[in-house]
Amino acid sequence: MASRFDVRDARGEDPERSLPHALALTLASALVWGVAHLVTGRRIVGALLVGAFVLLGAAAAVAGLFFRPRLMELAVQPAWLSGTAGGILAIGLVWVTVVIRSYQLVRPGALSLGKSTAGGVAVTVLCFAVAVPVSWGAYNTYVYRDALTSIFQTGGGNGRPVNTKDPWNGQRRVNVLLLGGDAAANRQGVRTDSMTLASVDTKTGDTVLLSLPRNLESIPMPAGPARDRFPYGFTGDGGGTPGLLNEVYQYAEDHPDLVPGARKNQRGPELLKATISGILNQPVDYYILVDMFGFADIVDAMGGVRLKITEPIPFGQRGEVLQPGNRVLKGKEALWYGRSRTLSSDYARMGRQKCLLAAIAKQADPQTVLTRFDKLAAATKRAISTDIPQELLPAFVSLSSKVKDGSRIDSLQFVPPLISTGNPDFALIRKLTARAIAGERAQASASPSPTGTKTRPAAGASPSPSPSPSPSTKPVSLDEACPH
């Protein structure tokens, strides 16, 4: 048998007219490995190639259909990502080799220069059609791994050992402090203008979001150097730092002696975690800090975020306005939507920020992530810092799937008139926190406000964040709180 499939000898046809047939067989081999080998009588090799191709496809289908949760857990493990990138490249190399060898087997024996060139170009294009998506997949896997290892460090930043067999150390709930850092060129350091403790039930995924206002005063400090310096509550340095909750992070960074043993960029998170833990009387396990200006880059990388705006919101420094209606906001517009206090208040802004984050979470679908992956990864690296260790990422992925699959997400904001920011009732804050986490749904009238008057439940509140929020003492579902 000839080393090359001779169409003229087999069929008595003119080889000048056999090139389309050869290219068709090459294309078929690119779609299903081994077709050209089988046609040319190389049955053993052809059968092996077809079997390998079918096995790979079946394995991918079965994994996607029946083992998706496990795949999601593996997708946050750097070692598996490295292996995946290498595997993708290996498959791509085999694929291109199959295409080239298939054409060699079915190519007519005598072609004119023009036909030969046309055939070579066609096969080259076909090889690129295989190589480009394979290379794209391997590259994005590498980019993803790089972003993952840049944001999440091995062992985390809290120095505690990680038990992957019991990731929550027997705890029924895991508490993650979500921070929005408002750094800018005209401001020294970072001010944590958004502070929310997400308390998640590790069994059910039910979540309570407990939000503290940026301007909370007279904050009790944790035992140790911080309380020794501020025995009667945090007062800052005076002047530009009057002693608000959003100053604790940067104050710790500027005063290393308050958090002995902590490195730069860890002092702020550690002291703020301990401070908020004391305010709410709840442990704070981990934190995630999102730089608000980097957050705008994330929104742009997503292609914008869809939101329903219920009232005009001033935007920018030129008198622009975000008009009511269903809008797709770009990064800077989304940033202003979440930060603007003009004709509004800190507390209305807190509500908008939660709705904005909820909208982004819902719209970060697989198609958006895949098509804009490199931009999203780069923006996320710039915008996010955390002490969640790499080893716990599979457990967090599993937990997040519970949160998305129908679990309830409630929100409770400690804002006026429920809580006076200038003279906070910390005993009431702790009481309401315990009640919210316990899942109680007591009527608001059962708990007096700091002024001694009865308050109304949030069920009758407007679905849009308002300048004067209802003094609700029970958590409200985000689906109820955010306009649709």
Please tell me whether residues 200 and 84 are part of one structural domain. no
Q: What confidence category does residue 445 fall into, taking pLDDT thresholds of 50, 70 and 90? A: very low
Please classify residue 18 by burial: count the beta carbons closer than 10 Å to its beta carbon, then call 0-12 exposed, 13-18 middle and 19+ buried: buried
- Provide the 10 A C-beta neighbour count for residue 450: 16
Structure-token pair, residue 390: 């790499």
pTM: 0.76
Domain count, the chain: 2
Which structural domain, as residue segments, surrounds residue 120?
7-151
Q: State pLDDT tens for residues 384-423.
A: 899 999 999 999 988 888 776 667 888 898 988 899 999 9
Please tell me whether residues 267 and 126 are part of one structural domain. no
pLDDT at 459: 31
How many CA atoms, within 13 angstroms, populate the side-chain half-sphere of residue 350?
26
Give the mean model confidence (pLDDT) for residues 68-81. Answer: 88
Q: The CATH number of the domain where 228 resides is what?
A: 3.40.630.190
Q: State pLDDT tens for residues 201-214.
A: 998 888 999 999 99
**Residue 466 lies inside a defined structural domain of this protein:** no
Q: What confidence category does residue 383 fall into, taking pLDDT thresholds of 50, 70 and 90? A: confident
Please tell me whether residues 187 and 313 are part of one structural domain. yes
Last-in-domain residue among 359, 385, 414? 414
Please tell me whether residues 86 and 192 are part of one structural domain. no
Q: How far is CA 12 from CA 103, 108, 115, in A?
A: 20, 12, 19
Q: What confidence category does residue 221 fall into, taking pLDDT thresholds of 50, 70 and 90? A: very high
**Residue 467 lies inside a defined structural domain of this protein:** no
**Residue 33 lies inside a defined structural domain of this protein:** yes
**Residue 203 lies inside a defined structural domain of this protein:** yes
Please tell me whether residues 226 and 374 are part of one structural domain. yes
Please tell me whether residues 402 and 254 are part of one structural domain. yes
- Lowest mean pLDDT of 86-100, 178-192, 215-229, name the range: 178-192
Q: How far is CA 32 from CA 80, 250, 253, in A?
A: 27, 60, 60
Please tell me whether residues 263 and 368 are part of one structural domain. yes
Please tell me whether residues 88 and 45 are part of one structural domain. yes
Structure-token pair, residue 226: 């911080």
Please tell me whether residues 135 and 188 are part of one structural domain. no
Last-in-domain residue among 384, 414, 444? 414
**Residue 474 lies inside a defined structural domain of this protein:** no
Please tell me whether residues 295 and 369 are part of one structural domain. yes
Cα–chain center distance at 464: 25
Please tell me whether residues 126 and 95 are part of one structural domain. yes
pLDDT at 91 over 60: yes
pLDDT at 18 over 90: no
Please tell me whether residues 147 and 260 are part of one structural domain. no
How many CA atoms, within 13 angstroms, populate the side-chain half-sphere of residue 393?
24
- Lowest mean pLDDT of 48-57, 223-232, 448-457, name the range: 448-457
